[in-house]
Amino acid sequence: MKITEILVAEHRVMLRVFDQIDRTLPSLATQAEAGMLAHIMEGMLEGHAKTETELAYLALDHVLEEKGRLDRLHEEHEEIDASLRRVHSAGCCAEAQQLLGAAIVASRRHFLFEEQSVFPLLEQVLQEDTLNELASALTERTRPGQPDG
């Protein structure tokens, strides 16, 4: 299995969670409920972004002409993170719902960009053995009983 396949699989799982959060958004009664959902998203996205950055994108850093794509990815990660952080300090439930919805939309757009642009680039630039080794490194890192990161 390749690192890109694992990352796409993670996207699929998170997209299902986002779908469920989307369905729940209209029924939220308090800003605290939105904050709890934001915490869930933050936890999922943090681990995923760490994997992308430390394993996959690090391998692309040497490809200078692709710097713009990597900069975009980092900016999008920061935008999504900032939107989720603002949920916690929203003045009312409606604002928190809007911010959470915006973070979901931005995350979906970000995943699509990665899958259409970045992951194919990874597969083009890196040898299949390297992609497989990165997947093995991730599997080893996330094995139960292993320290995080």
What is residue 149's predicted lDDT score, i.e. its pLDDT? 47
Where are the domains positioned within the chain?
A: 3-141
Averaged pLDDT, 10-35: 96
Q: What tens digit of pLDDT does each residue of 42-62 get?
A: 999 998 888 887 776 776 666
Percent of the chain having pLDDT more than 70?
86
Say which amino acid occupies 142.
T
Q: What tens digit of pLDDT does each residue of 107-118 get?
A: 999 999 989 988
